[in-house]
Amino acid sequence: MNDGSHAPSRQPATAALPAAAARIASFSFHGDAGQTLRNVQLSALPGTLTAVLGGSGSGKTTFGKLLAGWLRAGHSGVLRGSLALGADRVEFHGNSNDPRINPAAWSGRAGYVPQDAGAMLSSVRSTVAEELAFGLENRGVPRVEMIRQAARTAERTGLSGLMGRNPAQLSGGELRRLAVACAVIAEPGVLVLDEPLASLDAAGAAQLRNLVDGLLDAGTAVVLLSQRADALARSAGHWIVLDGGTVTAEGPPAEVEEGAAFSDAGIVAEGRGAASPGTRPAPAAPAAPVLELRGVGFGYGTTTRTTKRSAGTARPAPVLHNLNLTVRPGEIVAVTGPNGAGKSTLLRHLNGLLQPQTGEVLLAGKSIAGIPTGRVACTVGLLFQQPRDQLFERTVLREVGFGLRRLAGGETAAGRALEALAAVGLADAAQTHPAELPSSKQRLLALATVLARTPAVLALDEPTVGLDRYGIERLQHAVAAAAARGAGIVLVTHDLAYARATAHRVLALDGGSLREI
Amino acid sequence: MSLQSLLLPATGAGSAAGKTKAQRNRRLLELGGAAAIVATYLFLVLTQPADIASGPASFAALVALGGFLLGAVLLIAAALPTLPTPTLVLMPVALVLNVVLGQLMGATGLPFYVDAIGTVLIAVLAGPAAGAATGALSTIVWSFFNPTVLPFAAGAALIGFLAGLAARGGLFRRFYLAPVAGFVTGILAGVVSAPIAAFVFGGTAGLGTGAVVSAFRAMGDTLLAAITKQALISDPMDKAIVFAIAALLVYALPRRTTFQFAFVRTFRVLAGMSPATPESQPQTQPESQPESQPETQPEA
Amino acid sequence: MPSTLHPLTSLTAAGCTAVITTAAGLWPLSVAVALAAALLAVGAGVGRRVLAAAVAVLVPLGLSLLMLHGLFFPEGRTVLAAWGPARVTAEGLSFALEAGTRTGACVLVLLLFSFTVSAPDLVAALAARGLPPQVGFVLASALTLLPAMTGRLAAIRAAQEARGLVVGRGLLSRLAAVRLQAVPLVLGLVEDAGVRAQALEARSFGTPGPRTSYRQLQDSPGQRVFRAAAVLLTAAAVALRLITAWPVAP
């Protein structure tokens, strides 16, 4: 059965036969008390796009992985229900006699691309071409055939020019396309894409969009998992709204979007008027700036502080060049720019993680040169993109309370920790392990750890990425509250619409310096 | 036919015969590996007095290298096919943790070479076979940067194996028992590794350990005896620390993560980590009923 | 700089040289082999890296051996100097010299191999010779993960500093910092490994049966003959040493 002859004879394509169908009565992980999924059904016809929408922790990823055989009944948890690929249906009753899915064969017909595209890669192949061929190698596909298929898939996914590159050195968009290519090289009838556009800039998103259109034209059924109702989701023919592990609405997008279930699910509705821009009055101008950057210049490979490896060729152009920025108390400044423009580099200068090579950074009029980051952090709270790097405690409450006692004294510390948790809506999760929170709440927790210290400057790196609508609302409130108490706020984002809706001033990072837009 | 190809063969009676045969082969490899290590050890201990006085132990070095490496390779060959992909993927992670956490601990200035934290962590999560294979394989990978560790592969495998046994025996359920298990593991691992240091390298890799060996030599011990005694002084302490750190880390991980591992679920490796299922059963012997969900028993 | 030889040729050459040097047990030969390896490393453009790695290993070992056997060698007869319990003997010094140079030669030869071989080529070559794919995976994956870890640890440290973490000078404070940095590192790696395992299974990694390889390696009849000859020579050297030095019961 595993002897390589598993390529199933394709059923004669009848118009009504879905490429994939799932009817999940219940699914729970081993070791979890509750059910992660209840009563979820999906049927995806060839060549159609189906969007499964839901907030953070709604069970989208679990559902997608079950459909594609990444999570398996018995192996990963207890499943009751049925899964079908084409005419082949498998029933599960949640006992030990259940059939066991062969993940290799199953994924040949149902592909899945995880949100973290890097996790799709084998980590043992040194070129894009070999990474693409990894699955074929394991199936014993003859080399000539393998080269042909790899080249064909590379062409479909726009990777032809990158075949000799090391996968570890691809950009975010290229990496995402490689992950998709690794799934589609087996020609699956259905492809599940988990948040395929997350943290891609406009150019990267457009290329991925083309790729999806090509797959649909070729007759692949595409299932999109997303917490944003973006342009890609809006092009779907059918929406399924997941909330708390179960379907609360489904149907054509226009219909679903009008319903209450859609707005309750915490889905971010792009293109709908969110906060109104410009309504926030700019703070009174005369106040002395809390943060000032004067003529800051910085380039990688020319500093003693950074450990980033230079490409080894010619010295790269400086990332920041003669950059000036003034933030006054209560002011919200947004910095935008495409991926790789140096936005994160700029942010790391605000608390001394990177030291400018020219110019200086002033906090409340005093230079921070030479002060360790851990001390600057009392004044500048910096929130990174990857929340799990920042979290290390056993419970949410301990996480927020960490280091507060030294800063504020016992009684105040406990109060402030709870206050910060309440501000981001995590008061009832105080005893949870941080890593068991859904990703949106992990980011909010990281935000709470910064808020609890009531910093004079709040610096946020791509704060909206990975947040669902509830998360974004909490973020908006927290940012507004911090501004109201007089903190200066710098947020860096590639999402221009969000920047305009939130900030008093929007600046573009371009050629190493900032300009108003 | 196409439906069948999507599924794995049922674990029915049909495959039982083939399975027991494969199992017997594995058992033979395991026994062969253990026998190679024990025989090499005994041979070296029994013949070494004649060798050391007559110059450098070229002969003993060859025997030690050959015997221990053969044992390590046989153990890897026995363990690897049994390991599921999730465990396999953790093995490079263990190696990385051995190196990185070893360096982090090195920065604290404590006089110990804690280089097995990753191995012990994997053994606690995935069992003795995984621990043994991790120990041996990570030694092989690390020898790309420091070839002198290669001959110690068998000792590293032993540490991983014993850590897995300790986890299965429930020694990680109480925090104070973990260092005790580490202490005992250190004794065995130290004794087994001593002939390598004595016959392949003629001494120990560090100045501090070298000084201890010198002291025993000054008292007239043979080289092997001196190195064995030195190992008995430093290794048990070192492994006790390693086991304690591994226990600390494993309890810092969320339950959802540790519960992914069937070994942790089946043998109730960790305390207070049982699933809060409503149909909580009375405590059962885990080995006899691997499917049973052990009842919640918070640590006193 | 990756070597142009077939990886098995350089592996065989390095392994056989190390074993033959060990079997011979002659310090002039060991010194010659060590020098040759060092020169080859410089010629291949990895001299600095090989020597740095070798020095890190060999200097403590060498000093340890010198102190141990140079001062305390109860079996020694020819006493050159003595201070209390410490006796410098000719036998002890020659033992330290033999053991030190032998290890030095082996370390340099093996480092020359590992710093010049292309890991993907080596894994592909071993897989083609029937090495289980699991071994190749662990080898290659560890070699990719290791350099990436520096960056990951730096990211964790930066994120924690940005939260106001200041590492103090005391032992306890530094131990606490180890815990704080280790938890996100372990958690992140274990979680990544979980997803990667699912991805690998979906890409047929666990499937038994024949495999093919995209990467093709250049081999030549000359290299094959060389490998066979090297293995035979090594076997002969080992056999000779075992026969001449087999311990006779008293």
| Domain parsing of chain C, residue ranges | 7-117+220-245, 132-202
Q: Where are the alpha helices (DSSP H) in C162-210?
A: 171-202
Interface contact flag, A33 B7, Cβ < 8 Å: no
| Chain A partners within 8 Å of B4 (Cβ) | 1
* pLDDT recorded at residue A285: 59
Ramachandran class of C25: left when φ > 0, alpha when ψ lies in -120 to 50, beta otherwise: left
> What is the residue type of C245?
A
Examine the pLDDT at A490 and tell me if it is beyond 80.
yes
Whether C182 and A101 have beta carbons less than 8 Å apart is answered as: no
Q: How far is C44 from chain A (nearest CA, A)?
A: 18
* Least-confidence region, from A104-118, A237-251, A308-322, C182-196: A308-322
Q: How far is A215 from chain B (nearest CA, A)?
A: 23
Q: Mean pLDDT of all residues in chain B?
A: 80
Mutation site, A75, A125, A138, A437, interface C, largest C CB count within 10 A: A138
Interface contact flag, B1 A88, Cβ < 8 Å: no
Q: B5 pLDDT band (50/70/90 cuts)? A: confident
Please give the DSSP secondary-structure letter assigned to residue A384: -
Examine the pLDDT at B277 and tell me if it is beyond 60.
no
Whether B272 and A394 have beta carbons less than 8 Å apart is answered as: no
Chain A segment 33-72 residues within 8 A of B by beta carbon are 33
Strands A37-44 and A190-194: unpaired
Q: How far is A403 from chain C (nearest CA, A)?
A: 7
Interface contact flag, C142 B143, Cβ < 8 Å: no
Going along chain A from its start, the domains and CATH numbers come out as 20-269 (3.40.50.300), 291-305+316-516 (3.40.50.300)
Nearest to A403, CA basis, from B253, B108, B248, C161: C161
Nearest CA in chain B to C185: B97
| Chain C partners within 8 Å of A70 (Cβ) | 198-199, 201-202
Nearest CA in chain A to B296: A31
* pLDDT recorded at residue A91: 94
- Distance (Å) of CA B274 to CA A79, A226, B44, B55: 20, 33, 47, 59
For B278-291, what is the mean pLDDT? 36
The Cα diameter of chain C in Å comes to 71
Residue in this structure with the two tokens 């016992």, named with its chain if needed? A410
**Torsion sign (Cα): C121, C126, C132, C135:** negative
pLDDT digits (tens, 9 = 90+) for C101-118: 999 999 999 999 999 998
pLDDT digits (tens, 9 = 90+) for B227-260: 999 999 889 999 999 999 899 888 888 777 788 7
* Upper half-sphere CA count for residue A170 (Cβ side, 13 Å): 26
Whether C33 and C22 have beta carbons less than 8 Å apart is answered as: no
Interface contact flag, C158 A69, Cβ < 8 Å: no
Q: Which residues are bridge partners to B199 per DSSP?
A: none
* pLDDT recorded at residue A406: 72
Nearest CA in chain B to C142: B92
For A386-402, what is the mean pLDDT? 84
Q: A6 pLDDT band (50/70/90 cuts)? A: very low
Q: Mean pLDDT of all residues in chain A?
A: 86
Higher-confidence position of A184 and A370: A184
Nearest to A101 among B6, B255, B260 (CB): B6
Examine the pLDDT at B184 and tell me if it is beyond 90.
yes
For A283-290, what is the mean pLDDT? 73
The C-alpha atoms of residue A69 and residue C199 are separated, in whole angstroms, by 10
Q: How far is C239 from chain B (nearest CA, A)?
A: 10
Note whether residue B152 is domain-resident. Answer: yes
Q: Collapse the DSSP code of C63 into the 3-class scheme (helix H, G, I; strand E, B; otherwise coil) and give the result.
A: helix
Note whether residue B271 is domain-resident. Answer: no
CA end-to-end span of chain C: 53
* pLDDT recorded at residue B203: 84
* pLDDT recorded at residue B210: 85
Nearest to C184 among A65, A119, A389 (CB): A389
* pLDDT recorded at residue C86: 81
Nearest to A102 among B6, B259, B276 (CB): B6
Residue in this structure with the two tokens 């720019």, named with its chain if needed? A337
Interface contact flag, B260 A30, Cβ < 8 Å: yes
The C-alpha atoms of residue C92 and residue C77 are separated, in whole angstroms, by 9
Interface contact flag, C72 B202, Cβ < 8 Å: no
Give the relative orientation of helices C90-116 and C47-71 as an angle to the nearest 10 degrees.
Answer: 160
* Least-confidence region, from B263-277, C78-92, C156-170: B263-277
Highest average pLDDT, of A318-322, A399-403, B48-52, C198-202, comes from C198-202
Q: Which residues are bridge partners to A89 per DSSP?
A: A84
* pLDDT recorded at residue B2: 62
Examine the pLDDT at C132 and tell me if it is beyond 50.
yes
For C10-38, what is the mean pLDDT? 93
Mutation site, B6, B258, B259, B268, interface A, largest A CB count within 10 A: B6
Phi, then psi, of A189 in degrees rounded to 5: -75, -25
Mutation site, A107, A137, A308, A345, interface C, largest C CB count within 10 A: A137
pLDDT digits (tens, 9 = 90+) for A430-471: 888 888 888 888 889 999 988 888 899 999 988 888 888 889
For C89-100, what is the mean pLDDT? 88
The C-alpha atoms of residue B258 and residue A235 are separated, in whole angstroms, by 40
The C-alpha atoms of residue B204 and residue B214 are separated, in whole angstroms, by 10
pLDDT digits (tens, 9 = 90+) for B63-105: 888 999 999 999 888 888 888 888 899 999 988 888 888 777 7
Interface contact flag, B2 A88, Cβ < 8 Å: yes
For B9-38, what is the mean pLDDT? 78
The C-alpha atoms of residue A68 and residue A22 are separated, in whole angstroms, by 10
Q: A391 pLDDT band (50/70/90 cuts)? A: confident
Interface contacts B/C by beta carbons within 8 Å: 220
Examine the pLDDT at A18 and tell me if it is beyond 50.
yes
Q: A42 pLDDT band (50/70/90 cuts)? A: very high
Examine the pLDDT at A257 and tell me if it is beyond 60.
yes
pLDDT digits (tens, 9 = 90+) for C136-155: 899 899 988 888 888 888 88
Whether A56 and A266 have beta carbons less than 8 Å apart is answered as: yes
- What is the ipTM, given to two decimal places? 0.86
For B122-136, what is the mean pLDDT? 92
Q: How far is C198 from chain A (nearest CA, A)?
A: 5
> What is the residue type of A378?
C
Nearest to C6, CA basis, from C114, C112, C117: C117
Interface contacts A/C by beta carbons within 8 Å: 176
- Distance (Å) of CA C48 to CA B121, C61, C118: 35, 20, 18
Q: How far is B6 from chain A (nearest CA, A)?
A: 5
> What is the residue type of A245?
G
Question: Number of structural domains, chain B?
Answer: 1
Interface contact flag, B147 C110, Cβ < 8 Å: yes
Interface contact flag, A101 B8, Cβ < 8 Å: yes
* pLDDT recorded at residue C1: 44
Nearest to B136, CA basis, from B158, B168, B114: B158
Note whether residue B235 is domain-resident. Answer: yes
Chain B segment 78-97 residues within 8 A of C by beta carbon are 80-81, 83-86, 88-93, 95-97
pLDDT digits (tens, 9 = 90+) for A297-347: 998 865 444 444 444 444 567 889 899 999 999 999 999 887 778 888 899
Examine the pLDDT at C230 and tell me if it is beyond 70.
yes
Nearest to A65 among C123, C161, C198 (CB): C198
For residue B90, the enclosing domain spans 26-266
